[in-house]
Every structure is written in C-alpha cells, then in structure tokens.
Amino acid sequence: MKEKPILGFQTDFTYKEGAVCSMYGVVKTVDRTLEIFDGTHEIPHFDTWSASYRLYQSMVFWPKGTIFVSVVDPGVGTARRACVAKTKDGYYVVTPDNGALTHLKAYTGIEEIREIDESVNRLRATAGTSIFHGRDLFGYCAARLAGGIITYEQVGPAYSVDEIVVHEIHQPVIEKGRAKGILEICDPNFGNLWSNIPVEEFLEKGFQYGDLLNVTICHGGKAVYRNRVPFAKSFGYVKQGEAVAYTNELMKVAIAVSMGNFREIYQVDFGHDWTVELEK
C-alpha cells in the first residue's frame, strides 16, 4: 500500500485555546491514519512574511510529498484566494494566497497552483461561519488530499503561478570585501538575526572565518547599530555577551550575542526595511 503523505501544520493561533485541536480533529475525522506534525503555532500574528520564511526554512528537511498547512490569514473570509501550491521539488502547501508563498516561489519554485473549490473541499457542517478557514477549508482540504479522497487536480481550478501574491524580496549585493543585505527573520528564542546573504558567495568574495567585520545595521536608511564583530563558525568562538557574525542553519550570514539576545540588547529587528552591511 502506498504511504500517505504527512501533514505539517504552522499557524499564528498559539495553543491558548482550541483552534489547533479543532483543526486536528477535522483531519482525523476525515482519516484517522493521517500523521500530523507541528512546525510552529507561534508565528507573529498576521505576519505572512514570517509564515513564508518558516515554510522555506523547514520544508526541504521533510520527505517529498509532505503536505504543509500554513494558516496566517488576516484576510480570512474575504476575496483572497485559498490555494494548494505544488513546489518544483515535490511538496504541497495548503494556504491562503496572501504572501505566504513568497520565499518558496523565489528560492524553490512553484510548479502549479490551484484554488480550493469550496463547493467540494469545505467542511459543510460549519458553512455558516467564514472566520475559521484553518479548520473548515485548509485543514479539511489537506486531509482529503493526504487521504487520497481527492487528487491534486480535484482541489480546484488551476491559475497562473504569475498571479501568486508575494512580498518584495530584496536581493543581497556581495562584492570583494563588502556585502549588503536585509535582516530577513529572527531566531525568536535566542534573538539571533538572519540575513539573506549566502555564506558560499560571501566566502568567494574574500571573507574568511576569523575576520573582524565592520557591521552596520540600518532601519529605514538610518543607522541604529555599528560595531566591529568577528566572523566565526559558531557562538563559542567569542566570550559570553560578545557579538558574533556566523553561518546559520540555512547557510546565510547571521548575527548573535553569545549566550545573549542580540535583538533585545540592541533593539533591532527584521523586515524589508532592516538592512545590514558587512565590511572587512
């Protein structure tokens, strides 16, 4: 018997009430044999950029064919599309089309996208409400797809990949001895800030582990942090409380404080208007 796809969930719901439990109940009602795993339910409220990045961060480490359900949906119940995207490397994402596919489209590639047909792939018992599509539409449709009740083609009509809603992604500029990018995301538990500067190209342009870097972080074009920071493979190469630039888990340049919280200590953050410049 062919193995059924795993379901991986991420939301901004938290565990403070029964929303996550309800989604999983719908899945198990459709098919008790389906495996469910959590990515995170702590995405910042309404933050579709972070939802997009967390998919990109973790997807590739799961078996091909895994179905990800990503629900950060400030436009729930409105005309925004509900969709299932198929990536070029063989995964599926069930999500509102509201920017949550930005990084996958840019870095992985999306082969096809289909709008969920709510006349078929929506939970009928809750037809009177439009505010919990995580349970009634995304979770339900994902369970039907994973359980083999519907094929991908039966999700609903396809539409152009060019119509996918995306956030703007600023590309890094890497030159000999100098690199500039944005701070794309944070490690919320430790306060490390991750740039979009790939380490492979960073090293090709003459940077080396052990270099002392001039680091400038700007917000909206205004400098908010300047310091000389060593570039090292990991946090333990500097003393506790000292800043360090390092290679993060996605092979990008990141900045941290050893056994501290860079984000809190220096009051910096991430997003398209947070830039970082590194010079030897």
Q: Which CATH number covers residue 15?
A: 3.40.50.10790
* Euclidean distance between CA atoms 151 and 145, whole angstroms: 6
Q: Are residues 47 and 102 in the same domain?
A: yes
Range of the domain at 231: 173-279
How many domains are contained in the chain? Answer: 2
Are 132 and 189 members of one domain? no
Residue 3 to residue 180: CA distance in whole angstroms: 45
State pTM to two decimals: 0.94
Whole-number pLDDT of residue 272: 87
What does the block give as tokens for 188? 């919320």
The reply to whether 158 and 195 lie within a common domain is: no
In terms of domains, do 183 and 148 share one? Answer: no
The token duo for 270 is 């991430």
Amino acid (one-letter) located at 167? H
Whether 241 and 122 map to the same domain: the answer is no
Same domain, 30 and 126: yes
Q: Is residue 168 part of a domain?
A: no
Any domain includes 46: yes
Per residue in 248-280, pLDDT (tens digit) is 999 999 999 999 999 999 999 999 899 999 999
Q: Is residue 108 part of a domain?
A: yes
Pick from 174, 172, 134, 183: which is nearest to 18 by CA? 134
CATH number for position 204: 2.40.30.90
**Confidence check: pLDDT of 245 > 70:** yes
Q: Give the pairing of strands 82-87 and 178-187.
A: unpaired
Domain boundary among 116, 141, 163: 163
**Domain end among 130, 163, 196:** 163
Residue 49 inside a domain? The answer is yes
Residue type present at position 209: Y
Query: Mean pLDDT over residues 214-239, rounded?
Result: 97
Q: Would 2 be classed as within a structural domain?
A: no
106 in the same domain as 25: yes
Please state, in angstroms and as integers, the Cα–Cα distance from residue 265 to each residue in 186, 192, 220, following that order. 14, 11, 19
In terms of domains, do 157 and 178 share one? no
End residue of a domain, out of 143, 163, 183: 163
Whole-Å CA distances, 207 to 4, 213, 249, 279: 46, 9, 19, 9
pLDDT of residue 125 exceeding 80, the answer is: yes
Q: Residue 200: inside a domain, yes or no?
A: yes
pLDDT tier at 133, thresholds 50, 70, 90: very high
Q: Which two tokens stand for residue 182?
A: 């944005």
32/154 same-domain check: yes
| 149 and 229 within one domain | no
The predicted model gives 26-30 an average pLDDT of 98
